Amino acid sequence: MILDPNILTQLAPLEMKARNIVEGFISGLHRSPYHGFSVEFAEHKPYNQGDDFKHIDWKVYGKTERFYVKQYEAETNLRAHVVLDISSSMYFKHFADWSKLRYAIHLAASLMYMLYRQRDASGLVLFDEKVREEFPAKSSYSHLRLLFSRLEEQLSEEQEKAGLQRSSASAEALHQLAENLKKRSLVIILTDLFENVNNHEALISALRHLRHQKHEVLLFNVLEHQSERELDFPDGKFLFEDMETGSEMEVIPAQVKEDYKKKVNEYTRRFKLACNEARVDFEEIDTQSPFDLALLAYLNKRKKLG
């Protein structure tokens, strides 16, 4: 299973990396209790009374002893928009091999590849203080290549723009997106929620706006858990810099660690509760972990949507 960032860094282009992530994930599903789910994901659905018997895939039956019928393009029409936060805080990394942005880009590419394999349409939205770029949702391979190309450009800009101070304004961007999307879609948001400690209600309002417009929402909170959740630094004094404003503060992590964790956990608990009330799926993703949790969360969401 090729999911290790150190290995993936050596592969190119992004399409190859996404394919390796997804195929490694599917291979893992085949060896897990989710075995039947992985078969269904690829291009099949369970046989139901009334389905044409001639479409049963007997090779799959031989492996699973369960009836699946081949699913054709006309049977799927999901539109998904991957909404990627490209603000300055996403360039952060300390313990992880990849920045939050690099991790999120590879996750975005993997999700798009899965959508393409399921014959669903995918689009891309890039935002910081506002929506910077928006690509419509399409299901063609040429469109997938276009999206990968744009994500490749974003990867190549990582070193160049790492020092820039670009704030994030998720709420404003999501309100704008809710107005722009005319057809019911699955909106997959990848962000570190950096700016939203003080704008909690504004972001929840934007998520409700998307739900009010009949869109389904899957929110991935991309974090380096060891530093940003646990404040797990060695003993000593550290200079912390806000990557979006440039403000600095000297901190001895050991002195504030417990209080910090308590406040962060309480904020996260309240935010998850608000998402649940808004019927928004919320997943916290650690940049030091494989992509499996995020891909499984997507599959679970996709399955609910039929």
Q: Which residues contact 52 (CB under 8 A, 6 or more apart)?
A: 69
- As to burial, measured by CB atoms within 10 angstroms (0-12 exposed, 13-18 middle, 19+ buried), residue 277 is exposed
Total domain count for the chain?
2
Residue 57 sits in the same domain as residue 85? no
Task: Quote the mean pLDDT of the chain.
Answer: 82
Residue 65 sits in the same domain as residue 83? no
Overall average pLDDT of the 49-73 stretch: 65
Residue 67 sits in the same domain as residue 98? no
- Top pLDDT among 184 and 235 is at 184
Q: Which two tokens stand for residue 32?
A: 């897990």
Residue 96 sits in the same domain as residue 223? yes
**Cα–Cα distances in angstroms (integers) from residue 97 to residues 6, 102, 158, 240, in the given order:** 8, 10, 14, 19
Query: What integer pLDDT is reported at residue 234 of this predicted model?
Result: 83
Residue 88 sits in the same domain as residue 33? no
For residues 193 and 221, the answer to whether their CB atoms sit within 8 Å is yes
What's the domain range around 191?
76-304
Calpha distance 175→172 (Å, rounded): 5
Q: Which of 57, 72, 87 is the last residue of a domain?
A: 72
The 8-class DSSP code of residue 94 comes to S
Q: Which of 72, 106, 131 is the last residue of a domain?
A: 72
What would the pLDDT profile of 71-100 be if each residue is shown by its tens digit?
554 445 799 999 999 988 899 999 999 999
* DSSP-derived pairing of the beta strands 68-70 and 44-46: antiparallel
Q: Which two tokens stand for residue 241?
A: 């810099």
Q: Which two tokens stand for residue 255?
A: 């002195």
What would the pLDDT profile of 187-223 be if each residue is shown by its tens digit?
999 999 876 566 678 899 999 999 999 999 999 999 9
